[in-house]
Chain A
Amino acid sequence: DTEVTQTPKHLVMGMTNKKSLKCEQHMGHRAMYWYKQKAKKPPELMFVYSYEKLSINESVPSRFSPECPNSSLLNLHLHALQPEDSALYLCASSQVGLGEQYFGPGTRLTVT
């Protein structure tokens, strides 16, 4: 099963709201990733978790807070976002080390 799932598919939130994005994989991968993709741009890496520990934070603002509660799940907690944070948020997973990354369908976030 080469599937990564993400919920919700769409999310509209106000600048004072708190929400969470969820990602799940059952491929036995121990590396998981969050990417952000603005319209007509390529995806950009935000965070990498390896063996449930945060290994890369690409200087992401603290209003984005990742969490990896177990080897299958990855969350992204959102708080006090700005309209410019509106984007497609993609989750991916892979084997640790050299490995092909598999992406979920994404959550399309709109901040009003």
Chain B
Amino acid sequence: GIQVEQSPPDLILQEGANSTLRCNFSDSVNNLQWFHQNPWGQLINLFYIPSGTKQNGRLSATTVATERYSLLYISSSQTTDSGVYFCAVESYGGSQGNLIFGKGTKLSVKP
């Protein structure tokens, strides 16, 4: 099956710093989503981005499908950005709706 690798596994930032999170995947994908899981467990949709670039406020994402990676950029980080960031993909030709999650990047933003 498709493999999803996220890096770095852990990241500690000072408030106001910028960061880049990476997601590599081993096969072609139909669907790629970035989520933020808050300390209470809620998975918050950040981007639905199987290809291209999107921006939403301080966050932006780029997926280069031909090279099988996606990047999530966080600018001017805030303490509320803390949590785990997951990349999840649905393999092209795989079972519909079967999102495969990476292991996540745990982000801690210090005041």
A interface residues (Cβ-Cβ under 8 A, vs B): 2, 31, 33, 37, 41-45, 48, 50, 55-56, 58, 88, 90, 94, 96-103, 105-106, 108
B25-67 interface (Cβ within 8 A of A):
30-31, 33, 35, 40-43, 45, 48
A42 and B42 in contact, given A31-B97, A48-B98, A56-B98 (Cβ under 8 angstroms): no
B43–A103 CB distance below 8 A:
yes
B33–A101 CB distance below 8 A:
yes
A-B contact count (CB 8 A): 63
Expressed in whole angstroms, the Cα–Cα distance for A102 and B97 within the complex equals 12
- A13 CB to closest chain B CB, in angstroms? 18
Sampled A-B contacts (30; CB under 8 Å): A31-B96, A31-B97, A37-B41, A42-B86, A43-B43, A43-B86, A43-B99, A45-B97, A48-B95, A48-B98, A50-B96, A55-B95, A55-B96, A56-B98, A58-B98, A88-B41, A90-B41, A97-B96, A98-B30, A98-B31, A98-B90, A100-B31, A100-B45, A101-B88, A103-B35, A103-B43, A105-B40, A105-B42, A106-B42, A108-B41
Task: Report which of B41, B48, B101 forms a contact with A100, defined as CB distance below 8 A.
Answer: B48
B interface residues (Cβ-Cβ under 8 A, vs A): 30-31, 33, 35, 40-43, 45, 48, 86, 88, 90, 95-99, 101-104
Expressed in whole angstroms, the Cα–Cα distance for A103 and B97 within the complex equals 13
Expressed in whole angstroms, the Cα–Cα distance for A85 and B48 within the complex equals 30
